Chain A
Amino acid sequence: MKTTATKAAPVNAEVLDLVRRRRKLVKLSLGACAHCALCAESCFKYRNSGQDPTYTPSYKAINTIGKIVKRRGRLSPGEYEKVRELAFDKCVLCMRCRCPVGVDLPYLISLARSACREVGIERGYLEGKNA
């Protein structure tokens, strides 16, 4: 098989381990999410983005660690790049988002950051990626 940018990268053992240890927790938390978007307005990044739906805290959690857990770490580099954008650029982990159901969003997003670091993805300070 040829490897292209969209093909899933080889699975990183550390990510697999993180997925294994946090899988149930992530599933329990995101399984309770009512997908109501009430957390959106509690995030200053959402409000300052002109209400861009991809800044909604639960959107960030679902499409980062939620996706990583669901796919057991098998994300392509392009997909990891999207995760990086959501977890590092679109969230500053200020812990201010509120969920009426009690989903711990910053914790979930921080897990996504951990997974990113394991595959060598960091916040792009030098590349000017931190919009």
Chain B
Amino acid sequence: MSLPGFELFSLYDAARGPLFLVACSVFILGFAWRILRFARLSSSIAARGRVPGAGVRLDAAALDSLSLATRRAQDRSEADRAFLLPDKGIVSRILFLGRRFLRNSNLAGNPVMTAFSLAFHFLLVLVPLLLPAHNILLFLGLGLGAGLSLPVLPEPLMDRLTLVILAIGLFFALRRIFLPRVRALTTGGDIAVLLLVAAPFVSAYLAYHQAWDYHGILVGHMLLGELLIAAIPFTKLGHMPFLLFSRLFMAGERSARHASRRWAA
């Protein structure tokens, strides 16, 4: 390319190829590092001969004889167990468990926040992934040719959804500023993270609408997107891997029933 855009274009080439791979590598390695830390800071309960929730030390044979179903039943109160007997009928049993689930979920106590949060998280991942522009660039950039692509959705729709993401991000920011309990927890880092997440979406929106200098904004978009991807494991955005491990492996009152690990002694 010619004239003033020249340096930008080499940055453009770097951003859509090698820098993207660097960002992804940092993301994956950072993720692995977090998982490793998790593994090293916890230890297996089964190895210690304990039944989660029972608080009784059993020998290995007794442990083996307890099926998962038995352990689950042991975890429930007597009243719950009575209610869950088969003669209650499947519908009322499901309703009972549903009510129990809702009562035990803090998201249900905040329906607006729940709806916004779910929408925000799903869109945050799905919109960039199912975007035609991304798919074309990704497969070209990886040298795989233009024939391959994930399923994509039409760009005008994605453009609207980008606005939805940004609107919910604004809702989070307002919550931070105006709700005393959220403000009491807010640090400069929280605002920075919100901006970090919003930045690729704002720049993408501006690029799509060809505001100002299209190429400059587009290169900015790519660099900001890559910054976000690389930063996830090292900021509080690392709550994604944490959640999985905390819920699936760590024994606790809200973890999955077969949780098998505890924080190391």
Chain A residues with CB under 8 Å of chain B are 24-25, 28-29, 31-42, 46, 51, 53-54, 56, 58-59, 62, 95, 98-104, 107
Q: Report Cα–Cα, A57/B180, bound state, in Å.
A: 14
With A28-B41, A38-B106, A42-B106 already in contact, the answer to whether A51 and B180 are too (CB < 8 A) is yes
* Interface CB pairs A-B, < 8 A, 14: A28-B37, A31-B238, A32-B236, A35-B236, A37-B184, A38-B110, A40-B181, A56-B184, A98-B254, A100-B106, A101-B239, A101-B242, A102-B250, A104-B263
Most buried by B among A35, A95, A98, A103: A35
Tell me if B243 is interfacial: C-beta within 8 Å of chain A.
yes
Across the interface, B104 reaches (CB within 8 A) one of A35, A41, A62, A98, namely A98
Q: Is the pair B107, A100 in contact by a Cβ cutoff of 8 Å?
A: yes
Q: Report Cα–Cα, A5/B60, bound state, in Å.
A: 54
The 8 closest A-B pairs by CB, nearest first: A102-B246, A32-B242, A53-B184, A35-B185, A37-B181, A53-B181, A98-B106, A37-B182
Q: Return chain A residues, CB-CB under 8 Å to B242.
A: 28-29, 31-32, 101-103
Chain B residues with CB under 8 Å of chain A are 34, 37-38, 41, 104-107, 109-110, 113, 179-187, 190, 236, 238-239, 242-243, 245-247, 250, 252-255, 263-264
Q: Is the pair A25, B263 in contact by a Cβ cutoff of 8 Å?
A: yes
Q: Return chain A residues, CB-CB under 8 Å to B255.
A: 102
Q: Is the pair B239, A34 in contact by a Cβ cutoff of 8 Å?
A: yes
Across the interface, A59 reaches (CB within 8 A) one of B184, B252, B254, namely B184
Q: Return chain B residues, CB-CB under 8 Å to A36.
A: 113, 182, 185
Please name the residue on chain B nearest to A97 by beta carbon.
B106
Q: Is the pair A34, B236 in contact by a Cβ cutoff of 8 Å?
A: yes
Q: Is the pair A32, B239 in contact by a Cβ cutoff of 8 Å?
A: yes
Q: Report Cα–Cα, A24/B179, bound state, in Å.
A: 30
Q: Is the pair B185, A107 in contact by a Cβ cutoff of 8 Å?
A: no
Q: Return chain A residues, CB-CB under 8 Å to B183.
A: 53
Q: Is the pair A53, B180 in contact by a Cβ cutoff of 8 Å?
A: yes
Across the interface, B113 reaches (CB within 8 A) one of A31, A38, A62, A99, namely A38
Q: Report Cα–Cα, A29/B264, bound state, in Å.
A: 13
Q: Return chain A residues, CB-CB under 8 Å to B245.
A: 102
